[in-house]
A and B are shown apart, each in its own frame.
Chain A
Amino acid sequence: MKGESTPARSAPTSLEGKKERVNITIVGVGNEFRGDDGAGVLVVRKLREKVPADVRTAELMGDQSDLLELMRSTDALVIIDAVRSSAAAGTIFRVDASEEPMPENFFSFSTHAFDSAQVVELARALKALPRKVIFYGIVGKEFSYTSRLTPDVTESINLIQTNILNEINAALHREAQLQEDA
């Protein structure tokens, strides 16, 4: 697993330090017609009804440089994308991209000209990263032209929602406490 982050099931977070309510965006990346590649998009569709009303959700399918635009207008960004890995299908990787670089072996395995991991690093180089960027990678197995998902990926899509909701709620709670203290 060289170069990859540790698989994570817990949901630590830190969006502290901002006095007004943080602006959070959750973006799912991928193509739902290429099997497991659509995992990120499907997670966001399921989360849309569950997150607080002022948390923005977005789906990105094509050229991922659009992620840069989303970064310009958000304080905290959660990205969910499918990745290829030697790990078992359905394994979830969590990378705190605000604290560490994206693993290089997340690069260039996307069906897109610019994948989401590269865009995160491009934004870092341009000093355009939001204060907090959390990347969730779901290991996929089937990336051919199909809308069917690998069963383990389906399971992870359900599991990861709880992680993200916990992460967001904890962040908003901390932020509210900060405002009270202030």
Chain B
Amino acid sequence: MKNKPARTIKVDYLARVEGEGSLIVKMKDGQVNDVKFRIFEPPRFFEAFLRGRKYSEAPDITARICGICPIAYQMSSVHAMENAFGVRVDGQLRELRRLLYCGEWIESHALHVYMLHAPDFLGYEDAIQLAKDHPDAVQRGLRLKKTGNDLVTILAGREIHPINVKVGGFYKLPAKKDFLEILERLKRARDEAYETVLWTASLPFPSFECDYEFVSLSHPDEYPFNEGRLVSNKGLNIDIREYELVFHETHASYTNALQSEMKGKGAYFVGPLARYNLNFDKLSPLARKAAREANAEPPISNPFKSIVARAVETLYACDEAIRIIENYEQPEKPAIEYSVQPGFGFGCTEAPRGILYHRYMVGEDGAIKDAKIVPPTSQNQKMIEADLRSFVTANIEMPKQELTLRCEQVVRNYDPCISCATHFLKLEIS
């Protein structure tokens, strides 16, 4: 393998990802020398300007971090504050929070599956070209996404930058009748999500498997949205309060987003495929049935098949939303009462792209003294680079154009939200 000319795969602007990023892979003598997944979206310093703001502002401020997954930010922040104050939200209010998460998963997953990821598998440059040959599939994706958007709007006031979530519950509760129309649409969406599972499982997948450490929340009674312990397929099982004992962030000079790793271990994998592998038995019977019919039961260690996990989760989210709405009884009060307590609060919920960790320190006056937010894309960054290295090493003879497209697909397997990942750079001025 010596004396082979040096080759470089370089994608200056990654398409079909949320935000601005690039990748570079350098090869020489048949070996991969360097891999960089670079995020150059500028940092936004959310953690810094949360300091001094009132605890109750955290849900609405952090929702602004992302236009695709604002619910996740709201949920992690309210859970963290409730954790600090010793408050537990249960019953229908808790169910409504799950319902809200269903909406976000449906809209985010449908967007990624159909518009951003599917073109890779079918050899199209983008969703526009895909739509010319597969209009029915794209329309199905758009209908699913719209259903998710509308569910979020009913509960959260609006689909982007929602405003109805507060510590202790909600500002305003929907009436049972508010769900009548969306319930029927969710039933149609559930059928289309089932079809989506079968469709994604029929896509051609590159042969590629790795020995990953998958990390997700795990709850004894439910597929995880809002709470649970942090577990992995390699023995991790911790309370979310212990997150920073196990995981830490590092800063590489070539990227604006911090990179997370497990202390002493390195890269780990969060997101739909991790949840799916670790919580398959908690999916609804219908979602498990679809997975079986699609011959896609876990464990799955081919990251290209994350699109199938995303599709099964979309089906689960439709199914779970229908269950919650059918059992919904409007509570008397939109939120429970609590008193502000100084101290630390921890929140970790499952954003569409994986675990989203928040930790706050709240003072006697209810002001935020310190905040830490670790989004899923920061956590997957090192895994993305490891996948690029492994994939290129295994396919080093592949023609450059094809290899470049496959490398982009490797990145898109993780549905990275680059905008989310860049709020956390610490500037060191000397």
Contact = CB atoms under 8 A, between A and B. Distances in A.
Interface of A: 61-63, 65-66, 68-69, 108, 111-114, 118, 121-122, 125-127, 144-145
A69 B13 contact: no
Nearest to A144: B42
B13 A122 contact: no
Given A63-B160, A127-B135, 13 more contacts: A61-B160, A62-B159, A63-B68, A68-B142, A112-B67, A113-B17, A113-B111, A118-B128, A122-B128, A125-B135, A126-B135, A144-B42, A145-B44
Interface bin, chain B: 20 to 34
27 contacts: A61-B160, A62-B68, A63-B68, A63-B111, A63-B160, A65-B111, A65-B115, A65-B142, A65-B145, A68-B142, A108-B13, A111-B19, A111-B20, A113-B16, A113-B17, A114-B127, A118-B126, A118-B128, A121-B128, A122-B131, A122-B138, A125-B131, A126-B131, A126-B138, A126-B139, A127-B135, A145-B44
A6 B42 CA distance: 33
Contact of B15 (A62, A68, A108): A108
Nearest to B145: A65
A125 B160 contact: no
Interface string B7-26: 00000010111111000000
Interface string B114-129: 0110000000001111
A144 B20 CA distance: 13
Interface in B95-147: 111, 115-116, 126-129, 131-132, 135, 138-139, 142, 145-146
Which 10 A-B residue pairings sit nearest by Cβ, starting from the closest? A62-B67, A125-B131, A62-B160, A125-B132, A121-B128, A113-B18, A122-B128, A126-B131, A125-B128, A126-B135
B16 to A, nearest CB: 8
A66 B148 CA distance: 12
Interface of B: 13, 15-20, 42, 44, 67-68, 111, 115-116, 126-129, 131-132, 135, 138-139, 142, 145-146, 149, 159-161, 419
A63 B68 CA distance: 7
Nearest to B41: A111
A131 to B, nearest CB: 19
B18 A145 contact: no
Contact of A113 (B44, B116, B138, B149): B116
